[in-house]
Structure 1
Amino acid sequence: MDDLTGFQRDLLYVIASADQPSGQDVKEEIEEYYTTEINHGRLYPNLDTVVNKELVEKGELDRRTNYYAITDTGQRLIQERREWESQYIDF
């Protein structure tokens, strides 16, 4: 996960928390956290990056709508990240 941007890491968390969200679903959820509009030129290239790294799979809901789902590799990286963070933050 060390080669991902913070935004890409946040996309993984959003996708992992939902059941095959569409790109629009991901956009709406991430905008709530960032409190600013995320344009398509930022969102979709970053989604493509996590898909190309095989952390997320991309499928087709219909001819116009894709879905995204976390892969086993993506889940493993999230778990590793959480374990790493817990070394430094103990609440």
Structure 2
Amino acid sequence: MIHAALTALAEPTRLAAMRVLMDGEEHCVCDVMRRLGATQSRMSRHMQVLKQAGLVVDRRDAQWVRYKINPDLPPPLRALLDAALVDEVVA
């Protein structure tokens, strides 16, 4: 599971999507794609990778899918995500 998460977060668009979701709210894929300047098909694919890695959960709402960070992340995966979302690393 850690390997899949690391692979998912290594891609800049997916990491940026996780930054959008870090407020803890649900976001429709339309909101994420608008904020990142991505197409719907590209953003949906990225979100699917994040979902398969266990980092996000989704909920269908009419024609849109809403995503949020998986609230049931195991502690090691949560720590990894928190570290990946830090804006700066202090040396």
Q: Same fold (TM over 0.5)?
A: yes
> Who is 2:27 aligned against?
21
TM-score (norm 1): 0.71
- Ranges in structure 1 where 5+ consecutive residues have no aligned partner: 32-37
Aligned residues: 80
- Ranges in structure 2 where 5+ consecutive residues have no aligned partner: none
Instruction: Specify which of 2, 11, 29 is matched with residue 6 of structure 2.
Output: 2
Larger fraction in strand = 2
Q: Where do 4+ consecutive residues of structure 1 move more than 2 Å?
A: 72-78
C-alpha distance 75-12 of structure 1, shift in aligned 2 (>3 A): farther
Note the C-alpha offset of 1:75: 4.8
Question: Counterpart amino acid of 1:77?
Answer: L
TM-score (norm 2): 0.71
Q: Secondary structure at the match of 1:2?
A: helix
CA RMSD of aligned residues (A): 2.3
Q: Secondary structure at the match of 1:66?
A: strand
Larger Rg: 1
- The percentage of aligned residue pairs carrying the same residue is 14
Q: Distance in 2 between matches of 1:59 and 1:12?
A: 16
